Amino acid sequence: MTSTTKKSVYQIITDTIIDKLEQGVVPWVKPWLGGNPKNLISGKEYRGINLFLLAFNSFSSPYYLTFNQAKKLGGKVKKGSKSSIVTFWKELEVKDKDFPGELVKIPMLRYYRVFNLDQVELPALSKLPKRIQGYLGEDAPTNNVKPIPAAKEMIKSWLGCPEISHEGNSACYRPELDIIAMPYVNAFSKSEEYYATLFHELVHATGHKDRLNRDGFTGRVQFGSSSYSKEELIAEMGAAFLCAQTGISEQVIDNSAAYISSWLGKLRNDPKMVVQAAGKAQKAVDHIRNITYAKS
């Protein structure tokens, strides 16, 4: 595990996001080639902020592994390859200041480094474990796949989805009525843009008090405020998750200079914002996909 004494993990992530924004790149807009990033050994998809950290890359393979994992498979990282970071939570036990002799658990954000499969030289496929042979032998997705049916099914399958009303010329979620207002489909130049916009509003709707009851969602929110910026980031990121899962490759947020300028300011003032927003976006997407977790 890499030391984080010089910079906090939050700051490292935020600096990476800001660097991309200043280059004119909105990282959570970028489609993921070959499906969502996955760990080659476990086959599990990366979630939350890790999805965006790895989405910066332009590799052809969705698979990642650590230096030691590559070595264990009999492979090696190609010379000059630059690693990517992946975050995880670790509980640390510390002494309770208020109750001497008692220990409390504090969640700490940590990270390690991974390399894309394109950066690794592995033995012949036949010499790798059967499970990994299965991963690498899968058919790659093609550009001929039509994403619209998957997008429709995603919305249709959401239990408790609010009413979607097509009227006027703006897209918004009205929490007081629990209604999503959308322009007519033919107002969009592409069907993908329609669904990307609708996904954005669906994520907003998950914040309703009768659903996830997201902090700062209810009540009057001022445009450009910290609460507004955070909720917009949640909706933008959540829409990107849904677009990736349904095969839609169009941009999912308004990439205007005003938005980017606003986000840069908020991110600099609050290094934890991106990580927190990504976590809440993941919860929103899980809610839309009817994924529930048992309470501990």
Tens digits of pLDDT across the chain (296 residues): 444 456 788 888 888 777 766 665 555 554 334 567 889 998 888 988 898 788 767 676 889 999 999 999 999 999 999 999 999 988 888 777 777 777 878 888 899 999 999 899 988 877 888 878 777 765 343 333 334 788 999 999 999 999 998 875 578 898 889 999 887 676 676 778 788 889 989 999 999 999 999 976 655 544 445 677 788 888 878 887 888 788 774 444 443 334 445 566 777 778 788 888 889 999 999 999 998 765 54
Q: Which of 254, 216, 183, 257 is nearest to 28 (CA)?
A: 254
Q: Which of 58, 60, 59, 61 is nearest to 38 (CA)?
A: 61
- What is the DSSP-derived secondary structure letter of residue 45? B
Q: What pLDDT score was predicted for residue 243?
A: 83
Alpha-carbon gap, residue 239 to 187, rounded angstroms: 19
Beta strand pairing status for 38-39 and 84-95?
unpaired
Alpha-carbon gap, residue 257 to 265, rounded angstroms: 12
Taking a C-beta distance cutoff of 8 angstroms, is the pair 180, 166 a contact?
no
Taking a C-beta distance cutoff of 8 angstroms, is the pair 9, 111 a contact?
yes
Angle at 289 between CA 158 and CA 164, to 5 degrees: 35
Count Cα atoms within 13 angstroms, Cβ side, for 85: 19
Query: pTM of the prediction?
Result: 0.60
Q: Which of 30, 8, 26 is nearest to 18 (CA)?
A: 26
Q: Which of 273, 281, 225, 283 is nearest to 17 (CA)?
A: 273
